[in-house]
Structure 1
Amino acid sequence: MSVLRLLWSNMTHRKMLSLLTILSVAVTVALIVFLLLCSDGVERGAEKGYGPFEVTIGAKGSSSQLALNTYYHIGAPTGNVPFTLLEEVRKDTQVEAAYAMTTGDQLNGFPIVGMEPGYFATRYGTDTKMAQGKLYGQLGEAVIGSYAAKTMGLHIGDRFQGAHGLVKGAADVDDDDEDEPGHEEHDHHHSFSYTVVGILSPLLTSDDRAVFTTLDYAWAVHESQQGDHKEVTAILVKPKTLLGAQAVKTKFGQISNVQAIYTSKAVADVVNVVDQGAQALSVVTAVCIVLAAVSIVLSLIAAVNERKKDVGLLRLIGKSKRFIWMSLIGEGLLLTLIGLLIGLIAGHAGGYASREAVFEFTGLQIESWGWMPGELLLVAGTLLIGIVASIGPALQAYRVDPLQLFRS
């Protein structure tokens, strides 16, 4: 009888206990894999989330909020700054490029972002191609991110109206509310139509879930922003050098009611908060690992009396020590291996199933079927736990004198 056949026979003899052991290992591994996928998505999103725009200028408030709203289209803006500030920034000798952004409206939950067309070439390179159509050039023209276009089923030539606010349904107005404040603004939104002139190729950033249009759309739908009262949500600055970034931040950060932030630092602060949350989840993961190891030990201890007889018989018929030890440790290792494989598949499948939901709410891309660097350590660690958990019951079974066992 081969070792594998013997191990399989032992496992199927205690089906329920074996299934519970495999399940505990699989759940633990799947949870760790999913955390690795999310962590990798956060890191990659932080790396390419803001492109070359090392400085961001906006209204006073939270620097993290400004960065998240500007580059990840998450949350509300900190406020507005005067449009005239853009020209001052562009005149600075330390600035290579600067673009203003307006936001505050949405289409079915996807943010409508006013942005000058040059932004795309500066951030993504001049070879950035449209999947369909062209970039906008006139008021009322819009370009849709690849994910947003796919989700809403928009095509070239389609027309739509935006809604005020950043939450889907925030601008819905009942007929009974005509006399309430804000009704005129909502009507104004409904009277302003956009035409889809282009759909972006997948950029693998939060811009995939945004609707882009001309910078002046906000001034057209908000009548209060006219003439000298024009405002923008943020100014994205690409400095010529790192020293230039420091000079730009210092200069424009001194203006009243204006903040200038290092984009990388603000994004790093957000990543640190996420890492703290991941550390809290790692405690739960550690508990799961302990439970999985205990499950393996209990499964093998429960069968230790049967294993004693098996070992005694194997020794009496002259099987080698190597064969016997493989039969003893192999059962725990095989249970661990099966649970490991199921967990790896389940973890990646969970990442694949939730990738769109995660991207819609966070703008982070999960490479669901990519091999994470930490997975090799996970595989080695899981198998090691399986071996260690098997040693105790194996020693207990091996130390029995076969002659004494069969005499009794």
Structure 2
Amino acid sequence: MSLFRLTLRNVLHRRFLSLLTVCAVAITVAFIVLLVLSRQSVEQGAKKGYGPFDLVIGATGSETQLVLNTFYHIGAPTGNIPLAVLDEARRDPSVEAAFALTTGDNYKGYPIVGIDSGYFFTRYGGSRLQEGKMYAHTGDTIVGSYVARSLGLKVGDTFAGAHGLVQGEDHESAAAEHEGDHEAEEAGGHAAAEDEGTGERAGHAHEDFRYRVAGILPELHTPDDRAVFTTVDYAWAVHGLSPEEREITAVLVKPASLLGAHDLKQAFDGSNGVQAAYTSKAVSEVLNAVDQGSRLLGMLTAICVLLAGIAILLSLVAAASERTKDVGILRLLGKSRAYVWLSLTTEGLLVTATGLITGLVTGHLGAYLLKDMLFSQAGIQIEPYHWTPEHWFIVLGALAIGLLSSLGPAFRMYRMHPLALFKS
């Protein structure tokens, strides 16, 4: 009987214990694969998330919040700034390009972002639309590829937005106001009824303003895939603001040079409730926080690796104890010590390799199943079919653990005399 057939029969003879060992290895490997793919996706998404815009101007507050909302469409904006800030930035000779951004509304949970169409040509080099054409009039929109795919939007479709950055916010607010109005009526007051009227007018303003899909963006592999874009003046049109009341959320700035970026930050930072933030610095702070979380996950991974190694060791110790007499017979029939040693180490490697392959498949399958949810919620775009250099370390590490775990029981059987093995 060949060595491989003998090893396979021994593994199948102890199906339950072998299955538990395979599961321990597979779960550990799948967890590590998901961690590697997620961390790489966060790093790559962070690097290309803001394009050439090294500076962003917005309302005073958290720089990280400003950058995440502006470029990654995560969280709420820090507030609004005067429209005059845009003109002031464009007049500065240190500025190569500057674009105003307005936000604050959503369509079914996806942010509606007002920005000049020149933003796409500056950032993506004039990439063509997947279909349709760029917006030209107030109410026209172009839709990110992920939004179009998720909601089934096509060129020519119309829809109404909602206030806020979370789906259903208006409905919840309306329900709360309605409840407050009912309580006010019971108490004989009229203040809540007035508030409800204001809320209803705001809600009707959004419902009456209809957007039209003019085009659909190609897949950009950035957070812009999950946003709806329109003209800057959409918010002013929805709320009927006069020219004196018009404000913007942020200004995206592409400096002409690094020195120009420094001068711009000094000029705008801290004046009249306005701040200027280095985009790369804010993103680095987010990545540092992610790295700290990765260290914690790394500790948990190390524990999982240790437990998987122990599972392999226990499986082979049990196998060696069960097959002591069988090994003695093999030795008496003339099989060498090397044959006995190889039979146990091969069994450990076979179980480990099975768990390794299962874990790799499970990890990538999990990444495929989670990619839409992660991208929708956090803008993290996992590439489930990507093979990273870390994968080779996972493969070599798993096989090394399987081999080391099998050496102890194999060496014990190797050293014993065949008569001692048989008598035991």
The structural deviation recorded for 1:284 is: 1.6
* 1:222 equivalent in alignment to 2:221: no
Q: Give the match for residue 117 of structure 1.
A: 117
- Alpha-carbon separation, structure 2, partners of 1:115 and 1:346: 41
Check whether the contact 2:340–2:413 (CA below 8 A) recurs between aligned residues.
Answer: no
The structural deviation recorded for 1:250 is: 1.2
Higher mean alpha-carbon deviation, 279-288 vs 159-168, is at 279-288
- Alpha-carbon separation, structure 2, partners of 1:324 and 1:5: 14
Q: How many residue pairs are counted as aligned between the two chains? A: 406
The secondary structure found in structure 1 opposite 2:99 is strand
- Alpha-carbon separation, structure 1, partners of 2:280 and 2:169: 32
Give the 5 Å matches for 1:385-400: 385-400=401-416
The structural deviation recorded for 1:323 is: 2.7
Q: Give the match for residue 143 of structure 1.
A: 142
The structural deviation recorded for 1:404 is: 2.9
1:360 to 355, 371, 376: 376
Higher mean alpha-carbon deviation, 207-216 vs 283-292, is at 283-292
Q: Give the match for residue 213 of structure 2.
A: 196
- Alpha-carbon separation, structure 1, partners of 2:225 and 2:360: 29
Check whether the contact 1:328–1:394 (CA below 8 A) recurs between aligned residues.
Answer: yes
1:301 to 287, 310, 317: 317
The secondary structure found in structure 2 opposite 1:197 is strand
Q: Mark the CA change 1:84 to 1:319 in structure 2 (over 3 Å): closer, same or farther.
A: same
Q: Give the match for residue 187 of structure 2.
A: none
- Alpha-carbon separation, structure 1, partners of 2:232 and 2:423: 92
Q: Which 5+ residue runs of structure 2 have no aligned equivalent? A: 182-192
- Alpha-carbon separation, structure 2, partners of 1:164 and 1:193: 13
- Alpha-carbon separation, structure 2, partners of 1:58 and 1:80: 7
Q: Give the match for residue 266 of structure 2.
A: 250
Q: Deviations over 1:306-358 (max 9, x none)?
A: 33333323332233444332212111111111000000000000000110001
Q: Give the match for residue 21 of structure 2.
A: 21
- Alpha-carbon separation, structure 1, partners of 2:423 and 2:260: 88
Check whether the contact 1:305–1:397 (CA below 8 A) recurs between aligned residues.
Answer: no
The structural deviation recorded for 1:185 is: 1.1
Check whether the contact 2:57–2:275 (CA below 8 A) recurs between aligned residues.
Answer: yes
Q: Give the TM-score normalised by the residue count of structure 2.
A: 0.93
- Alpha-carbon separation, structure 2, partners of 1:405 and 1:238: 77
Q: Give the match for residue 163 of structure 1.
A: 162
The structural deviation recorded for 1:40 is: 0.9
Check whether the contact 2:104–2:165 (CA below 8 A) recurs between aligned residues.
Answer: yes
Which amino acid letter does the alignment assign opposite residue 131 of structure 1? Q
Check whether the contact 1:307–1:397 (CA below 8 A) recurs between aligned residues.
Answer: no
Q: Give the match for residue 38 of structure 1.
A: 38
CA RMSD of aligned residues (A): 1.4
- Alpha-carbon separation, structure 1, partners of 2:276 and 2:150: 35
Indicate the percent of aligned positions where both proteins have the same amino acid: 53
- Alpha-carbon separation, structure 2, partners of 1:407 and 1:131: 77
Which amino acid letter does the alignment assign opposite residue 157 of structure 2? D
Check whether the contact 1:308–1:400 (CA below 8 A) recurs between aligned residues.
Answer: no
Which amino acid letter does the alignment assign opposite residue 279 of structure 2? T
Which amino acid letter does the alignment assign opposite residue 204 of structure 1? H
- Alpha-carbon separation, structure 2, partners of 1:404 and 1:258: 85
Give the 5 Å matches for 1:170-185: 170-172=169-171, 173=174, 176=178, 179=194, 180=196, 181-185=198-202
Q: Mark the CA change 1:401 to 1:131 in structure 2 (over 3 Å): closer, same or farther.
A: same
Q: Give the match for residue 190 of structure 2.
A: none
The structural deviation recorded for 1:271 is: 1.2
- Alpha-carbon separation, structure 1, partners of 2:422 and 2:65: 74
Give the 5 Å matches for 1:2-401: 2-126=2-126, 128-172=127-171, 173=174, 176=178, 179=194, 180=196, 181-223=198-240, 225-401=241-417
The structural deviation recorded for 1:407 is: 4.7
The structural deviation recorded for 1:2 is: 1.0
- Alpha-carbon separation, structure 1, partners of 2:251 and 2:209: 25
Check whether the contact 1:312–1:400 (CA below 8 A) recurs between aligned residues.
Answer: no
- Alpha-carbon separation, structure 1, partners of 2:148 and 2:96: 32
